[in-house]
Structure 1
Amino acid sequence: MTEVNPADRTAASTEPAGGRTNLARALTTRHIQFIALGTSIGTGLFMGSSGAIQLAGPAVLLAYLAAGIAVFMVMRALGEMALREPMAIGSISRYAHEYLSPQIGFMVGWLFIIELLVVAMADVTAFAAYLERWFPGVPLWVWIVAAIASVTLLNMVHVKVFGETEFWLSLIKVVAVIAMIVAGVAIMLFQFGMPAGETAGVHHLWEHGGFMPHGPMGVLLSLTIVVFAFGGIETLAVASMEAEDPERAVPRAINTIPWRILIFYLGSVGVLLCLAPWDSIDGSTSSFVQIFDTIGLPGAADVLNFIVISAAFSGLNAVTFSIGRMLHGLAELGDAPRSFARTSGRGTPVMAILMVAVAVSFVLVLNQLIPEDMFAAIASVASFAVVFTWLMFLLSHISMRRRIARGELEPGTFNSPAGMIGSICAAVFVLVLLVMLAIEPQSQMAVMVGGVTTVILLALGFVVRGMRGRRLANDSRCAD
């Protein structure tokens, strides 16, 4: 391949003083499969579904379906780019770096890290909040510190430890969601635990204002919440860089996305909407917990509380992994301090992982020190970043496919099914999402803050890449 500047590749492959930079390739196909499953089921599904349901009513199912198709196209685009050169250096920002420009790659990498940091903060806060249901006397900070320390240690030991942890946490979530769907269907069939005079059934999908009570605009606006539920699924692309056999594991994992969306999102939310009127879901707690509490199954609600605790911890674990590898990759590309590229003897980027723990802790402290409105503005960057980074991945894929069409590159081995047309359609969908974010009052701040952040990061990209270019030029002259 000719996409990466040879000078960049040479510099990126140079080991920093006092340490190695190679990551361990120890994730098996089983690990990759369940990381893909686990990233499909997070706090966005368990908690975010309430807000989306309030906006769209039962028609939120259409929003999940549309977003799921877009996610599949994004992941197929990422998969095609990743498998063109699975052993290449750098994080997933290298696709924008190679196919758009190094400055855009810098911006995408750091914007993605900001997004993941806010997601990590949400996950660790949710973890503590869910435990408060059982341990109301324990201060939340105790659980927060315990969660951050635990995931830091898990990620520092070896990538296989991360893989095994995610395997079991993902298995818990998968089994739980399937069991919840089965239990919900049983309740609909036999009306177990239903209050007197109330029945569960599909009639809830069109009663109480109709299937689309707030019209098409409600569905469009709900997409801004629904899409965030899929944020973090890119962890699969990050993890593929440490797979033992990426050519086999990555296609298998990505190709399961359609049925995962059908089961875990359309299936679980569809059953949820059939158990009680959609307008009874107030968002005060997880919609899944609220429904099972409402129909008189508190034991089941406690089980679901355990599941969302597992989901939050799994999300924090995966985000810590992703940010650590993103920092490592950015350092290899010259877009972050070189110390983040150093790895331990076990092949883990220790400095990068420690920085994640510090950053998440700092964001949590910041949450307590600054006004709530200001922090909401900072957190809103995550909503914007999820959508914007998808757009950059799709544009990178479109640029790559154009080079293939011009004969500049050879076709890959895992081509996106709809090719460049599919990515163009998905990019249009993402642009619609950005418009929805801009016109929805509750998310306008996300667009403003996210837009400013993007411009600042892009400007920094020009500065950093310019400084790096001058340094390499000086080194070359000195060598001559």
Structure 2
Amino acid sequence: MALNETHDEYEQQDLKRNLSNRHLQLIAIGGAIGTGLFMGSGKTISLAGPSIVFIYMIIGCALFLVMRALGELLLSNLQYKSFIDFATDLIGPWAGYFVGWTYWLCWITVGIADLAAINNYLMFFNDGIAFTPVEGAMISIAAILFIMGLNLVTVKLFGEMEFWFAMIKIIAIVVLIAVGIWMVVTGFTNESGAVASFSNIWSHNGMFPQGWGGFLAGFQIAIFAFVGVELVGTTAAETKDPKINLPKAVNSIPIRIIIFYVLALLIVMSVTPWDQINPKVSPFVNLFSQAGIAAAAIIMNLVVLSSVMSSMNSGVFSTSRMLFGLAKEHQAPQALGKLSKASVPANGLYLSSVALLAGAALQYFVPDTVRAFTLATTLSTILFICVWVMIMISYMRYRKLRPELHEQSTFKLPGGVFTCWLVILFFIGTIYIMSLETDTFEALKVSPIWFIILIIGYFGFYKPRLKAVVDSKI
């Protein structure tokens, strides 16, 4: 069968718009409340102190602008199904190839970090005793198989699962805020003798107790907390009425950041002074443990476990869609471009799940879950930053090549091209900050290996394949 005929066959298969506004709104919330908040914020607080709230606001502002650019791009042409489509159209085939495969690896590394987090949280139910490497690997494999099974059914089931996962996160954070305020109002005293008070936020050596060095060091894990916020873009191809629902989801991001990040962490640091928070324990779980509410601590552990499963669920979903898009452009094996009877790219799900098994191997070779988590999150953050920068570059190309579409847009990026350059400079600065810390620099050093693999793949496999497709159509 000729390659163009194969392409036509896959063109007849397309993703169905089965996600409702209810699903999209909660996916947007779920994407803005990730594993980095529940597990990583303890370490970030230990590095930056109360200035963590400024870190989250700065990063949140930058990511909101990325989402506005993404929203305008996707709505300018409803044939754009993902990052791959507009990057290929506006920059070139190499850009689509780079973005698609890099975003795939982004979520694979997030999945590996999530597996480390799952093992870390389950230690709570094992009397705090670390699992053996074999036990950790088995737990990881079970989690991968469970998530793969969920995604194989229908996209609507994915939407429902994400809806309820996100709902659990929202309820948990709202309850935490309410309990925390009650503890402050009643002057609760924890086991170490600290009295809950809003003054704890600034009375322990000020808002920047670790200086500018600590403030900058907090950016790596803090920015990882936001990965997944762009999930709204990857679900656009399967969302009903995107012109109405996508702007709603994007514009609600700032208020969610203020409530779920800033307010929640201010409450945590009011109840327990920042210098008494254990960086290896989720501060959300710690708050209830400090209060001596054993049952609540167990429930919160289950909540953060559901948050990790939500992150993995989203990751497997988005990687399979990226592989589907790459296959449609002949940038990946054509088998990945086939849909199952349930309109799900099943082969992409299988490949992503196999890749996630590397996470199970990581549990075996790096049994220290916090170190494994830091390595995986740093690499993931670097890759996500590359994708976010490519979105901004695509937007600048769109403004240059399609000015008439920008004029017609009802969902414009505030500040336009100037905003793009500002956001890109911010991300470059963030990568520089990562080079200053020993543990994050470790992952930064190995990241170029991925780009070398991409270059070899593009010139060795993709370009010859693209030439064969073009020649077959002549």
**TM-score normalised to the size of structure 2?**
0.91
Alpha-carbon distance between aligned partners in 1 of 2:359 and 2:6, rounded to the nearest angstrom = 30
| Residues 1:328 and 1:297: Cα distance change in structure 2 (over 3 Å) | same
Q: For residues 363 and 194 of structure 2, what CA distance do their matches in structure 1 show?
A: 42
Q: Which residue of 1 aligns with 2:413?
A: 416
Aligned to 2:304: 308
Partner in structure 2 of residue 203 of structure 1 = 199
Q: Which of 158, 163, 175 lines up with 2:159 in the alignment?
A: 163
Cross-structure match for 1:394: 392
Looking at structure 1, the residues matched to 418 and 211 of structure 2 have their Cα atoms a distance apart, in angstroms, of 29
**Contact 2:150/2:157 (8 A) holds in 1:** yes
**Aligned letter for 2:425?**
V
Q: Does 1:475 align with 2:472?
A: yes
Q: Is the 8 A contact 2:199 2:270 kept in 1?
A: yes
- State the match for 1:51 in structure 2: 43
How do 1:234-249 and structure 2 match up within 5 A?
234-249=230-245
2:110 aligned partner: 119
Equivalent of residue 451 in structure 2, options 427, 446, 454 = 454
Give the superposition deviation at 1:458. 3.5
Counterparts of 1:37-186 in structure 2, within 5 Å, are: 37-89=29-81, 91-134=82-125, 139-186=135-182
1:187 Cα deviation (Å)?
Answer: 0.7
Offset from partner CA, 1:250-272 (integer Å, 9 cap, x none): 11111100000000000111111
Shift of 1:157: 0.8
Is 2:421 aligned against 1:439? no
Contact kept, 8 Å, 2:45 with 2:279, in 1: the verdict is no
Comparing 102-111 with 181-190, greater Cα deviation is found at 102-111
1:338 and 2:334 are equivalent in the alignment: yes
Structure 1 residue identity aligned to 2:8: T
The answer as to whether partners of 1:54 and 1:281 remain within 8 angstroms in 2 is yes
Question: d(CA) in 2 for partners of 1:70 and 1:415?
Answer: 16
CA deviations on 1:432-477 (whole Å, 9 max, x unpaired) are: 1111122333222333222342243144323334212320243134
Q: Secondary structure at the match of 1:212?
A: coil
Shift of 1:367: 4.6
Query: Closer, same or farther in 2 for the Cα pair 1:200/1:159, shift >3 Å?
Result: same
The separation in 2 between residues aligned to 1:33 and 1:161, in whole angstroms, is 15
Per-residue deviation, 1:400: 1.3
Change in CA separation of 1:283 and 1:212 when aligned onto 2, cut-off 3 Å:
same
SS in 2 for 1:348: coil
Q: Greater CA deviation, 407-416 or 249-258?
A: 407-416
Aligned length: 465
Deviation string 1:74-108 (CA, Å, 9 cap, x unpaired) is 1111111111222335x323332222221122122
Aligned letter for 1:161? L
- 1:280 Cα offset (Å): 1.1
Note closer, same or farther for the CA distance 1:368–1:131 as it changes in structure 2 (3 Å cut): closer
Q: Distance in 2 between matches of 1:299 and 1:378?
A: 31
**CA separation in 2, counterparts of 1:106 and 1:471?**
17
Mark the CA change 1:192 to 1:92 in structure 2 (over 3 Å): closer, same or farther.
same
Q: Within 2, Cα distance between the matches of 1:287 and 1:375?
A: 16
The offset of 1:196, in angstroms, is 7.9
CA–CA separation in structure 2 for the residues paired with 1:408 and 1:159: 31
Q: Contact (CA 8 Å) 1:31, 1:167: kept in 2 or not?
A: yes
**Structure 2: which 5+ runs fail to align?**
none
3-state SS of the aligned residue for 2:235? helix
Does the C-alpha gap of structure 1 residues 361 and 105 become closer, same or farther in structure 2, counting only changes over 3 Å?
Answer: same
Q: Is the 8 A contact 2:76 2:406 kept in 1?
A: no
In 1, the alpha carbon distance for the partners of 2:84 and 2:262 equals: 31
- Of 334, 337, 347, the residue aligned with 2:343 is 347
- The percent identity for this pair of structures is 32
Code of the aligned partner of 2:426: F
Which residue of the partner structure matches residue 381 of structure 1?
Answer: 379
What amino acid does structure 1 have at the position aligned with 2:252? T
Aligned with 1:15: secondary structure?
Answer: helix
Q: Give me the whole-angstrom Cα distance separating, in 1, the residues matched to 2:461 and 2:79.
A: 25
Report if aligned partners of 2:316, 2:349 keep a CA contact under 8 Å in 1: yes
1:219 aligned partner = 215
Q: Which residue of 1 aligns with 2:426?
A: 429
CA RMSD of aligned residues (A): 2.6
Query: What secondary structure, in the 3-state scheme, does the structure 2 residue paired with 1:439 have?
Result: coil
SS class of match (2:435): helix
Q: CA deviation at 1:207?
A: 2.0
Q: Find the residue that maps to 1:133 and give its secondary structure.
A: helix
Residue pair 1:12, 1:334 contacting (<8 A) in 2 also: no
SS state of the match for residue 134, structure 1? helix
Q: Is 1:35 aligned with 2:9?
A: no
C-alpha displacement at 1:13, in angstroms?
Answer: 5.4
Of 186-195 and 375-384, more deviation after overlay is shown by 375-384
Out of 21, 33, 58, the position equivalent to 2:13 is 21
CA drift at 1:330: 1.0
Deviation at 1:164?
0.5
- Matched residue, 2:294: 298
Distance 1:290 1:197, change over 3 A: closer
Instruction: State the SS of the aligned residue for 2:447.
Output: helix
1:230 aligns with 2:222: no
- Measure, in 2, the Cα distance between the counterparts of 1:49 and 1:338: 41
